[in-house]
């Protein structure tokens, strides 16, 4: 059993594709295929079901996958320990993050992390919080960064940043209130709203908080469901509607007096951002270092 065979197997499972695995590993598709065939021959079992358009793990493949990840992580941990001893820590951290932490918090984290480990690089991909969690539970990801908790006994959450959702409105005469002022909840029923799409941690918190007050989204006049935070900010600025948004996401627009941040009385919209991972999988040593860094970074102010 060779490490390149394990890496080929893990990459095919992650990408659900032999060709994408070959690109990630800088090799050819036949090489990836041969690595997995040789692995299956040595284990005397079939690891991947190739009979349909979608590549899926067999029962044996599901059992072996966690051991394959463990073996690669143990190898990397050994390398990391030696490199750290020589102060030559390097490698790439692949992060899948939901939109708000990805766009407005992660750049500051990476900047501070690289002060300690300047030879580390980052690859960042975007998914909403629900999809990140689903991929971790399905074994496609080992960890992620999200803006909402989805309960599972298999997951461990580590909070590293405190956030607040505010009611973002245009800075014009239609909204005469002072920045940060608390309004009665009835104001929500007379406004046009722009909301994030399903799966967003921002939307989930709003839905839960409104539900506690007996209000559903059906009670509001929602004109658009948008994925992009930047588009929502621009629509609010242009007076097309108002939206609940992360305070950190509109910091610049507030400073430039393009929008105002208001709050609703008795509506708790505080939340945390989380590093989340599966309890049943060992993290690579580089990711462990990143996780430990986040724990100490927790009280940093942006």
- Is-contact 166 270, C-beta < 8 A? no
Model pLDDT, residue 131 = 93
E strands, 12-65, are: 48-49, 56-57
Q: Which of 165, 171, 170, 174 is nearest to 196 (CA)?
A: 165
Query: Is there a contact between 66 and 280 (Cβ–Cβ < 8 Å)?
Result: yes
pLDDT, tens only, 91-150: 899 999 999 999 999 999 999 999 988 989 999 999 999 999 999 998 888 899 999 899
Residue 7's H or E segment, with its range, is helix 3-15
Identify the CATH number of the domain in which residue 134 sits: 1.10.10.10
Flag whether 28 is in a domain: yes
Tell me how many domains the chain contains.
2
Which residue has 């105002």 as its token pair? 260
Strands (E), the chain: 48-49, 56-57, 90-97, 119-126, 143-146, 155-170, 182-183, 192-196, 221-226, 243-246, 259-264, 270-278
Residue span of the structural domain in which 39 resides: 3-160+277-297
pLDDT of residue 82: 75
Q: Are residues 79 and 105 located together in one domain of the fold? A: yes
Structure token digits, residue 152: 């599972």
Instruction: Give the pLDDT score at 285.
Output: 83
Question: Which pLDDT value is given to residue 86?
Answer: 58
Question: If 0-12 CB within 10 Å is exposed, 13-18 middle and 19+ buried, where does residue 154 land?
Answer: exposed
How far are the Cα atoms of 60, 139, 203, 251, 268 from residue 165, in angstroms, in the given order? 45, 31, 10, 12, 9
Kindly state the tokens that stand for 44: 């005397």
Distance, C-alpha 253 to centroid of its chain: 24
182, 70: one domain:
no
> Do 92 and 122 meet the contact criterion of CB atoms below 8 Å apart?
yes
Cα dihedral sign, 202-204-205-206: positive
Low-confidence ranges of the chain (pLDDT < 70): 84-88, 299
Is residue 18 domain-shared with residue 141, that is, in the same domain?
yes
Residues 223 and 283 in one domain: no
Contact by Cβ (8 Å): 123, 92: yes
Instruction: Find the DSSP H helices in 191-280.
Output: 201-212, 229-237, 251-255
pLDDT at 85: 58
Q: Is the residue at 302 inside a domain?
A: no
Do both 71 and 198 map to the same domain? no
At residue 88, the pLDDT reads 65
Q: Are residues 146 and 212 in the same domain?
A: no
Q: Are residues 137 and 210 in the same domain?
A: no
CATH number for the domain harbouring residue 258: 3.40.190.10
Residues 201, 134 share a domain: no
What pLDDT score does 84 carry?
A: 67
At residue 108, φ and ψ (nearest 5 deg) are: -70, -40
């Amino acid at each position: 059993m060779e490490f390149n065979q394990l890496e080929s197997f893990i990459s095919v499972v992650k990408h659900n594709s032999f060709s994408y695995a070959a690109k990630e590993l800088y090799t050819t598709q036949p090489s990836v295929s041969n690595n997995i065939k040789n692995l299956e021959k040595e284990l005397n079992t079939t690891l991947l079901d190739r009979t349909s358009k979608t590549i899926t793990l067999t029962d044996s493949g599901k059992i072996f996958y966690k051991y394959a990840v463990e073996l690669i992580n143990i190898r990397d941990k050994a390398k990391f320990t030696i490199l750290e001893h020589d102060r030559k820590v390097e490698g790439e951290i692949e992060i899948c993050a939901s939109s708000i932490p990805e766009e407005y918090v992660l750049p500051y984290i990476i900047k501070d992390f690289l002060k300690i480990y300047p030879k580390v690089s980052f690859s960042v991909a975007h998914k909403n919080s629900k999809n990140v969690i689903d991929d971790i539970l399905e074994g496609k990801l080992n960890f992620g960064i999200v803006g909402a908790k989805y309960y599972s006994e298999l997951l461990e959450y580590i909070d590293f940043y405190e956030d607040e959702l505010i009611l973002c409105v245009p800075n014009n005469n239609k909204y005469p209130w002072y920045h940060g002022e608390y309004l009665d909840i009835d104001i929500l029923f007379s406004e046009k709203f722009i909301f994030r799409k399903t799966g967003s941690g921002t939307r989930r918190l709003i839905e839960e908080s409104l539900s506690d007050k007996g209000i559903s989204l059906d009670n509001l006049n929602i004109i658009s469901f948008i994925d992009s935070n930047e588009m929502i900010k621009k629509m609010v600025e242009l007076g097309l509607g108002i939206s609940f948004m992360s305070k950190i996401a509109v910091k610049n627009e507030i400073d430039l007096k393009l929008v105002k941040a208001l709050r609703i009385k008795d509506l708790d919209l505080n939340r945390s951002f989380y590093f989340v991972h599966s309890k049943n999988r060992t993290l690579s040593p580089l990711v462990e270092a990143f996780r430990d860094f986040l724990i100490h970074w927790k009280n940093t102010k942006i």
